[in-house]
Chain A
Amino acid sequence: MLKGFDRLFALLAASLSAQSVLAEEQAVERWGVNMPKGVTEVAQTTYELHMLIFWICVVIGVLVFGVMFYSMWRHRKSKGYKAAQFHESTAVELVWTIIPTVILILMAIPATKTLYDIYDTDKADLDIMITGYQWKWKYDYIGSDISFFSNLSTPRTQINNQQPKNPNYLLEVDEPLVVPIKKKIRFLITANDVIHAWWVPDLAVKKDAIPGFINESWTRIEEPGIYRGQCAELCGKDHGFMPIVVKAVPQNEYKAWLDGRVASAVKMRELTGKTFTFDELFVQGEKVYTSMCAACHQPNGKGVPGVFPAIAGSKIATGPLNTHLDMVIDGSQVNPAMQAFGEQLSEVDIAAVITYQRNAFGNEMGDTVQPVDILNFKNKQ
């Protein structure tokens, strides 16, 4: 009952919110029972293949279960049916070996054809490198400077049931992957830590992201739209919380997005030289902490005993600044779960989050770290 209200609430909230880009999107489709037809040729072929095999199975099932139910109904002792004693017939055994084999061969032909299509990654118009991290995705547009992380944007409060859930609960990110429609896009898929799998059902692309390997896959999206997926390989604690959102747009919109990206990169570089106030850093730091650190170290900075160390009162966050910088920028030497954030975050964000960690959760170091300090630390290495 409560849940029904929650969902109603979420829908209302979403339809009322004017700024939300996703507001006009359809309410979530409930009781979905089948694979999506998809928006690429490969996805549609896969769907047809799936339905073909499904119906073949249904026909076989109806025949076999039909005979079975018929004899369960007719050939029962309570109706006085006398058992026949026939058994062993090589001819019958041969028939029910050969017919299924023929059906299998008929199934294998279209399957093989589709597989060859899926494996043809040649002649791509655009290459995108996808890297799985615990628990986010990184997208690099090969041949350009564009590179960013894509994190879950559903707030923790919704996950913990303190707030009504968005319609796209757990399937929304801060930065979607933006791609042009009607272009062949090649994905180069790898991982930084453990194995992940990049899966978007509407594109029928699912490929494991494996550290040390680069897997290839491709797509050509026919219709503009927002397509959502999730990590499909158990990758640790927040495996269920690393969604994928692909935004397919017409060529001109894609171009505009690219230009905007380049401009904001320039702006970011300028900001690196700026000196911020403590408050500015603290506020930005809290944002960065929530999206990058809170999954392990927890929103209250207390960590998880025996698994993830606390930030509150920790030796590193309340010790010498250089050790703290080293831990955040280069990661832990002993615990691979603590990644090197030097390449994942901008200098501004690193400065902000370190300032935040040293002054939040009861830590009272009182120091501020500026983006320039981060740059200097990196250059010294």
Chain B
Amino acid sequence: MAHGPQPGLKRWLYTTNHKDIGTLYLWFSFAMFFLGGCMALIIRAELFEPGLQIVQPEFFNQMTTMHGLIMVFGAVMPAFVGLANWMIPMMIGAPDMALPRMNNWSFWILPFGFAMLASTLFMEGGAPNFGWTFYAPLSTEYAPPSVTFFIFSVHILGASSIMGAINIIATILNMRAPGMTLMKMPLFVWTWLITAYLLIAVMPVLAGVVTMMLMDIHFGTSFFSAAGGGDPVLFQHVFWFFGHPEVYIMILPAFGIISAIIPTFARKPLFGYSSMVYATAAIAFLSLIVWAHHMFTVGMPIAGELFFMYATMLISVPTGVKIFNWVSTMFKGSMTFETPMLFAIAFIILFAIGGFSGLMLAIAPADFQYHDTYFVVAHFHYVLVPGAIFSITAGVYYWLPKWTGNMYNETMGKVHFWMAFVGLNLTFFPMHFVGLAGMPRRIPDYALQFADFNQMASMGAFLFGAAQVVFLFNVVRTVMGGKKASEQVWENPQGLEWTVPSPAPYHTFSTPPILR
């Protein structure tokens, strides 16, 4: 049994194989995506028309909180770690991850963390109801008793992320095949290397801030309580020092995926490889010094406002470089539009729209009008849904034949794409309008003038949800069987992963490959 998987359930419990762990991460994230999605649908159902119909405000707040937490920590992050596990060793010609036992552990603590988080829904007083940003003192003195479980659950998720990040850095820096210099690495590997450093920089800060909350709640400290000499704004500074890099943690690996897909289907090399690497590094650096743009209305001194405004505006430069590079790669290519390419193109367009609204939000005086409205909700869903979710989806369609050895159903893939694309825009585009017209976010009921656009958004959300069922069906069908995929799968794709058979054998690159 030295060279194959263990039989039965043990295979998954004891596995130290990067492909098995990648699969576990991906299925776990898929499950969480559906759970978080159902919560979003409850929110959208309640907001279908003015008045309270389906849920009460307390439960509504629990849904917005849990939807955010589950999507960020349960769906997006584990999906990227899953893709990293599957692809990084194959892309750099390594036999496995550098720290396989820790790899097993960093996955297996996740289900327990999320079981704990989800169990709060059934506790007296309900689940956390203070938003995924859990601002103190709403999340401390005024929180339901389940907040303690939330804190421990965040600790567990943080530990898992940090271990995952250490493993990825150790793998990339130590296990590249001879001749695979840093500047020859695929961009997905580069973006993950930078993301992993961001994770190590900020996850401990998140752990710190929830620990301070724990101390305030149970041990009589007053970090965030003004009455005890503490400072509620301190909470926001510490939280967003984690929170802003966190949004780049959820987008940088996506840049890597798109940079792999566009050249394949344009049949043309990526326009500017090195500038893409530098742009990623620049974005990561800037992400660490812009956190207070989430706090323009807390009453910072004007010098602070100006610094964070200018720094935030600067992010659009390296982000623009990325968009321009992808478009230049497509220009004068020879394009075909298979499902991964469709999702990748939608990524570029919609992520750019999210980037534009991001630039608008960076302008501090205008932000006073946008802040905490549906305009912000529209903005971050435009960067996260097409950004993170579409890129993960594109990546899954792109590499699924390599993982399973079978081609997915192209028609069903296209149906999935168009339903998701229309659903997404129908859901989130009208949110720009209601936000500008004055609808605050996180409210269970709203004034009459917002009714029509909210109705549109709710219908779009259900369409988007239905699209994901098509996706699930397509993936399951592909895993079960289908047209056999060739070693290359696509027409002349670049990268070591396409040099191994499809499906990729349990162990790949036991001896390092020879690089051209």
Contacts and interface: CB of A to CB of B under 8 A. Distances in A.
Contacts of A33: 433, 436-437
Nearest to B356: A57
Nearest to A206: B368
Contact of A49 (B129, B266, B356, B366): B366
B142 A336 contact: yes
Interface string B347-366: 01100110010011001111
Contacts of B129: 236-237
Contact of B359 (A30, A53, A201, A231): A53
Contacts of B226: 210-213
B138 interface: yes
A230 B434 CA distance: 14
Given A93-B272, A307-B126, A234 B138 contact: yes
Given A96-B324, A97-B317, A234 B360 contact: no
B205 interface: no
Given A53-B359, A97-B321, A235 B61 contact: no
Interface stretch (B31-39, B94-102, B189-197, B446-454): B446-454
Contacts of A31: 433, 452-453
Contacts of A234: 61, 130-131, 135, 138, 441-442
Given A86-B332, A119-B302, A236-B138, 17 more contacts: A35-B369, A53-B360, A53-B366, A68-B349, A75-B333, A89-B272, A116-B302, A210-B233, A211-B226, A213-B232, A230-B438, A230-B440, A232-B297, A234-B135, A237-B61, A307-B126, A337-B142
A304 B57 CA distance: 12
A307 B368 contact: no
B16 interface: no
B442 A239 contact: yes
A50 B365 CA distance: 9
24 contacts: A3-B49, A30-B452, A31-B452, A33-B433, A34-B433, A54-B360, A61-B352, A65-B352, A68-B330, A93-B272, A134-B142, A160-B51, A165-B50, A170-B50, A194-B137, A207-B299, A210-B226, A211-B226, A213-B232, A213-B299, A239-B442, A240-B440, A307-B125, A336-B141
Contact count band on A: 35 or more
A165 B446 CA distance: 11
Interface stretch (B74-82, B308-316, B460-468, B475-483): B308-316
Interface stretch (A106-114, A142-150, A283-291): A106-114
The 10 residue pairs across chains A and B that have the minimum distance between CB atoms: A212-B226, A240-B443, A306-B124, A32-B437, A215-B299, A83-B334, A57-B356, A84-B332, A114-B365, A33-B433
Contacts of A319: none
Nearest to B278: A93
A115 interface: yes
B514 interface: no
A235 B131 CA distance: 10
Contact of A104 (B313, B369, B453): B313
A232 B53 CA distance: 23
Interface in A205-221: 205-208, 210-213, 215-216
Interface string A132-165: 0010000000000000000000000011110001
B360 A57 contact: yes
Contacts of B453: 31
B267 A83 contact: yes
Contacts of B452: 30-31
A7 interface: yes
Interface in A66-113: 67-68, 71-72, 75-78, 81-89, 92-93, 96-97, 100-101, 104, 107-108, 111-112
Interface in B327-382: 327-337, 345, 348-349, 352-353, 356, 359-360, 363-366, 368-369, 371-373
Nearest to B263: A87
Interface residues of B, number: 98
A343 interface: no
B138 to A, nearest CB: 4
Given A10-B448, A100-B316, A234-B135, A210 B299 contact: yes
A46 interface: yes
Interface in B287-317: 297-299, 302, 305-306, 309-310, 313-314, 316-317
Contacts of B499: none
A231 B442 CA distance: 11
A229 B438 contact: yes
A204 interface: yes
Given A194-B142, A204-B368, A169 B433 contact: no
A195 B226 CA distance: 11
Contacts of B334: 75-77, 81-83
A353 interface: no
B269 interface: yes
B493 to A, nearest CB: 14
A199 interface: yes
A247 B302 CA distance: 30
A87 B270 contact: yes
B309 A167 contact: no
Contacts of B317: 97, 100-101, 104
A351 to B, nearest CB: 29
Q: Is the interface of A mostly helix, strand, loop or mixed?
A: mixed
A336 to B, nearest CB: 5
B446 A87 contact: no
Contacts, number: 300
B125 A208 contact: no
Contact of A208 (B227, B297, B306, B352): B297
A244 to B, nearest CB: 11
B307 to A, nearest CB: 11
B335 A75 contact: yes
Contacts of A32: 433-434, 436-438, 449
Contacts of B131: 234
B501 interface: no
Contacts of A171: 447
Interface in B385-409: none
B208 interface: no
A147 B449 CA distance: 31
Nearest to B437: A32
A119 B303 CA distance: 11
A53 B358 CA distance: 11
Contact of B438 (A36, A108, A210, A236): A36
A233 interface: yes
The residue among B53, B273, B447 with the most chain A CB atoms within 10 A of its own CB is B447
Interface string A9-50: 010000000000000000011111111100000000110011
Contacts of B442: 234, 239-240
Contacts of B158: none
Nearest to B310: A108
Contacts of B124: 305-306
B331 A67 contact: yes
B271 interface: yes
B368 A193 contact: no
The residue among B52, B360, B438 with the most chain A CB atoms within 10 A of its own CB is B438
A210 to B, nearest CB: 6
Nearest to B336: A77
A199 B437 CA distance: 13
Nearest to A193: B142
Contact of B363 (A53, A197, A229): A53
B512 interface: no
B413 interface: no
Given A10-B448, A75-B335, A230-B440, A195 B232 contact: yes
A60 B355 CA distance: 11
Given A28-B447, A68-B349, A88-B272, A112 B58 contact: no
B237 interface: no
A279 interface: no
